Amino acid sequence: METLMPDTMRTGGCLCGAVRYEITAEPDYAGLCYCADCQKVSGSAFVGVVGVPASGFKVTGEASRYVCKALGGGDAVRNSCPTCHSLLFGGIVGQDTSHTVYVGGLDDGSWFAPSFAIFASRRPAWAPEPPPGVAVFAEMPPGR
Ligand SMILES: [Zn+2]
Ligand SMILES: [Zn+2]
């Protein structure tokens, strides 16, 4: 993975602007998730996410955390804005080594290029199919 130059720093945040973040590292992965939890939490059919190493992710403002059981059995930690309730990223800042960033919060998400789609069997009929070239998994791919 290439290292990002400072002028390609990627920024995002919530709807009201109280919570902002910067991504200064190349994401480890980029994908789409159609799971039931992501549908609930986003109010939509799927989410786009990138995995960012904690060393390349900086948050300003105070996000509120919601923890529930992940489908894999562990804890799923989601951070949102306490004021406007935008869903922002996953994981505990200062504790986890990587974060899942929900790409809808990016100021410019045009660089987002998903390589996989998971829980695709949950995709509602009205939602678009993953774009060509994306590896589609009906559930969580084996080995994850
Ligand atoms: Zn907000
Ligand atoms: Zn999901």
**Ligand 1 mean position to 86 CA, how many Å?**
6
Within 8 A by CB and 6+ apart from 54, the residues are: 91, 93, 96, 97, 98, 99
**Ligand 2 mean position to 26 CA, how many Å?**
21
What pTM does this model have? 0.91
Do the beta carbons of residue 33 and residue 57 sit within 8 Å?
no
Give the tokens for residue 128. Answer: 């678009």
Confidence at residue 107, expressed as pLDDT on a 0 to 100 scale:
97
Confidence at residue 19, expressed as pLDDT on a 0 to 100 scale:
98
**Ligand 2 mean position to 76 CA, how many Å?**
10
Question: How much is the mean pLDDT over the chain?
Answer: 93
Confidence at residue 85, expressed as pLDDT on a 0 to 100 scale:
97
**Ligand 1 mean position to 14 CA, how many Å?**
4
For the segment 113-134, the average pLDDT, to the nearest whole number, is 97
Within 8 A by CB and 6+ apart from 132, the residues are: none
By CB neighbour count within 10 A (0-12 exposed, 13-18 middle, 19+ buried), where does 37 fall? middle
pLDDT digits (tens, 9 = 90+) for 5-57: 555 679 999 999 999 999 999 999 999 999 999 999 999 999 999 999 999 99
